[in-house]
Amino acid sequence: MKAAGLVVAVALFGTSAAPAPSRVAAPVPLPAHDVDVTSVARVYLDQIDDTRYVFSIVDTQVSPILDLRAVLPERCTPIRSEDAGVLVSAGFAFECASELNFDDSLELPWSLAGVVALVRWSDGTEASAYFRGDGRSVPVRLADLRAGGGTTGRLAGTYFILGGEHILFGIDHLLFVLGLLLLVGGFWSLVKTITSFTLAHSITLGLAVLGYVPVDRAPVEAAIALSIVLLAREIVVGRQGRKSLVHRYPWLVAFVFGLLHGLGFAGALGEIGLRASDVPVALLFFNLGVEAGQLAFVVALIALAKIAGRVRGMAVQRVEPALGYALGAFATFWFLDRLPALWGA
C-alpha cells in the first residue's frame, strides 16, 4: 500500500527531506543501510530543466545498469552528465522529447524487494514513494511521484484510488463514521449528519492543500482520536437517557469534527505531493475517493446490522453501549499514544 511506502521512505531517507542540489545531483549523505539485508535500494531523480533529468543511485552495492535505453521511456535517451551541467558519481543523465508525465515509468533491472525513490522537480517541490519489485525488475511509476503533464484521466484515477484507500485503511476516520451511525437515529437525520461531515472535511481539505490553512500532523492526529472519545461518550450516555447538544443537533457536531478530520485527510494528501497545475483535479478526485470509501463503509455497516437482526434477532440498539465503550477504549489508547508526538518525543 502507498501508506507502507511512505513509512519505508521516511525510514530510509530520514525524517526530513534531503536538500535540493544546486544543479549537482550527486546523492547527499544519508543514514547507512545494507541493501543485502533490507533488499531495498534508494535513488534520486532530479529534473534539471523541462526535458533533462539526472538519476542518482545512493546504494552503490546494487548491480550496475548496463542498458539504459531499456530503463527509460521510448522518447528519452541517455546523455553525458556534463551536457546536463551536473556531476554524477553513480547514476546517469538523460533527455526526453517532452517532459516526463503520469504515463511514464523507469524500469530498473534489479531483483530487489523494492526501491525508495525521491524526485526533486525543477519547480522546487519534492515527492517520494516506495516501489515493489517483481523479482526481475522494479518499475518506478512517475504517476506515484507526482509527475506533471500526464493525462487528466490518469491523474484523476490515481488520486481517486488514493482517497478511497485513505478512508478504507484509515481506521480512526472509519470509527468516527461508525460512531455517527450509532449516535444518529432515523434515515434523514443520518443523511443530514453524514452530509454535514462530508461538507466540513471537504472545506478544510481544500483550504489546507491550497495552502490557506497550515497542517501540523501531530496535534491533528491527537485531536482526531479525542473526537472519537467524545463521540463514544455521547453514545454511552445517550443510552442512559441523558441527551445533550450532540443528540439534538448531530449534524452540527459532525460538521465541527469534520473540519478537523479534513486536516487529517490533507496531511495524507500532502505527503504525496502536488504540482500547482495538478491541484484542482487531484483535490477533487481525492475527495471523491474519500466519499466513495466512506459510502461503501456506511452501506456495509447498515447491511451487516440488518443481517444480524434477521439471523440472530439482535437489534443493534442492544449492543450500542458495548460498542460505545469499545470505541472509546480504542480512541483513548490512540490519543495517549499520539500525545508524545506533540512534544517531539
- Can you tell me which residue has the cell 549523505? 29
> Which 3-state string (H, E, C) describes 8-32?
HHHHHHCCCCCCCCCCCCCCCCCCC
pLDDT tens column, 281-335: 878 888 888 888 888 888 888 888 777 665 544 555 566 778 888 989 989 998 8
Number of helices (H), then strands (E), belonging to the chain: the values are 11, 8
Pairing of strands 52-57, 91-96: antiparallel
d(CA 320, CA 53): 58
Put simply, whether the predicted model's pTM sits higher than 0.75 gets the answer no
Longest dimension (CA), the chain: 77
**Cβ–Cβ under 8 Å, residues 199 and 258:** yes
pLDDT tens column, 129-168: 788 888 899 999 987 786 555 567 777 887 788 788 878 8
Q: What are the CA-CA distances from residue 21 to residues 11, 17, 56, 279 (Å)?
A: 21, 12, 12, 26
d(CA 262, CA 182): 21
d(CA 128, CA 344): 23
